[in-house]
Amino acid sequence: MDQRVDTAIAFMNANLNGKLTPAEIAEAVHLSQSRVRQLFKIETGTPLARYLRDLRLKQAKELLETTFLSVKEVASHVGITGISHFVREFKKTYRMTPARYAARYRRTAAKP
C-alpha cells in the first residue's frame, strides 16, 4: 500500500476524537484533497469519507464493548457530534442501536 495512504490512516486513527476534515488529512500527507481522495480510493477500494466513518464506528463499537461510557460519550469520543446521526449509522452498520449493543456486552461481562 502507498505509504501516504498508510500515513493518512494512522493520522485518522490518532485523531478520531475530533472533527477531522479531508483538508486536514490531505495536509498531513502533503497532498491536495482531490489527490488524497483519489489515491485513497485506488489503494483501499473505499472512499475516504466512508473509511473514516467506518473507523469511527469500529472504535465506537470497541468502546461500547469495553467501557461503561454512555452512548453520547462514546459518540463524542469518536468525533461524532450528532447523536441521532451516530445512532442511525451504528444501527445501519451493526444492525442494532448502540444502547442495545452496549447492554448486551455489559450484561455478558457482569455474569459470573
18, pLDDT greater than 90: no
CATH number, position 70: 1.10.10.60
Rounded to an integer, what distance in angstroms lies between the CA atom of residue 22 and that of residue 112? 46
- C-beta atoms surrounding 64 within 10 Å: 24
Query: Which pLDDT belongs to residue 104?
Result: 87
pTM of the model: 0.88
**How many domains does the chain contain in total?**
1
- C-beta atoms surrounding 108 within 10 Å: 9
Average pLDDT estimate for 75-81: 92
15, pLDDT greater than 60: yes
Average pLDDT estimate for 34-62: 96
Average pLDDT estimate for 78-101: 95
Q: Which domain holds residue 74?
A: 3-110
Query: Which pLDDT belongs to residue 109?
Result: 58
Rounded to an integer, what distance in angstroms lies between the CA atom of residue 88 and that of residue 53? 12
Query: Which pLDDT belongs to residue 51?
Result: 96
